[in-house]
Amino acid sequence: MKKMKNFKSVIFSIVVILLVFTSCTNEEAIIDPQQNIDQSGSIIITLNRLNQQYDENGNVDETENPAGNIVFDFCFDFVYPIDLSFNTGATVTVNSLEDLIGIYNGSTENLFLNGIAFPFQVETYNENSNALEIETINDEGEFLSLLEGCSFDEINDCSCPEIYSPVCVNITDLDGGIFTISYPNACHAMCDGFSVDDFSEDCEEDYESGMGECFEFMYPISVILDGGAPLTINSREELFNATYGVYQIDLVFPVDIVTQGDMAITINSYDELEDVIEDCFN
């Protein structure tokens, strides 16, 4: 992690301290000081590595996350909430990946996360069953084994062209349903260990991946994530952050877009949006 200017470090320290010591009023972020939270070298490795998936502003780096799903772009996802501790002994309950990255980005040389409460659970991908599954991590040894299985230390010489020719892979989720991961092109999918035989014949267009070459949304727009309430999105960065790792994304129509030729168009359905993409890519 790049060193921050002193002033910025002070501000971040204040933000983290306030988060840890005041958020208990509405989310019970401070946990029982008697709870067993162990110092963990593995959580430090995990956070350092996970941070590489984000840019310096804390936004998801699209180039480092071609699948748009942390299990495949990183290696696993925590099942939240998880209980962590700082080097000062303060403890915090983290309720989401976004919160975890926010706290990590607020760390300084004097205040940083260095412990986790066992046991905890992670969401992983089982290539034999082509399904997501939950794994329980009971101690530091099992945590270290999980990281070793991620092969973070192996040299990744997989370089893919920036060509938008999407391929899709169908995965079984934790409830036994099927969801689809859309990669920008076959190279990215193969780098994640998939083969041509794994590609779905009915590959839906990934509007987020393709829009930079074809069109841009005119923000704000509204989306529905995993069947929840409509969420207002104000920028492309917010869209990618909000949809990262989400299995079901629905646009709330109508939406306005601007095409490559600077033409403003109102889109009223997915069929109309697909027509724009097909015209763009012939």
Same domain, 101 and 29: yes
Two tokens, residue 2: 């790049």
- Asked whether residue 264 is domain-assigned, the answer is yes
**Residue range(s) defining the domain that contains residue 113:** 6-150
Same domain, 260 and 242: yes
Distances (CA, A) of 100 to 104, 125, 165, 216: 6, 21, 33, 29
Tens of pLDDT along 55-98? Answer: 888 888 888 888 889 999 999 999 999 999 999 999 999 999 98
Q: What is the pLDDT of residue 270?
A: 87
Amino acid residing at 280: C
Same domain, 199 and 278: no
Tens of pLDDT along 124-160? Answer: 999 999 999 999 999 999 999 999 999 887 656 678 8
Same domain, 118 and 245: no
Same domain, 115 and 21: yes
- The region, left, alpha or beta by phi > 0 then psi within -120 to 50, assigned to residue 60 is beta
- Asked whether residue 1 is domain-assigned, the answer is no
Full-model pTM: 0.72
Contact 114, 103 (CB under 8 A): no
In this model, does residue 248 exceed pLDDT 70?
yes
User: Mean pLDDT in the chain?
Assistant: 81
Same domain, 37 and 62: yes
β-partners of residue 39 are: 115
Tally of domains within the chain: 3
Q: What is the pLDDT of residue 66?
A: 86
Same domain, 81 and 199: no
Same domain, 43 and 141: yes
In this model, does residue 241 exceed pLDDT 90?
no
Same domain, 143 and 191: no
Same domain, 146 and 17: yes
- Asked whether residue 133 is domain-assigned, the answer is yes
Same domain, 192 and 280: no
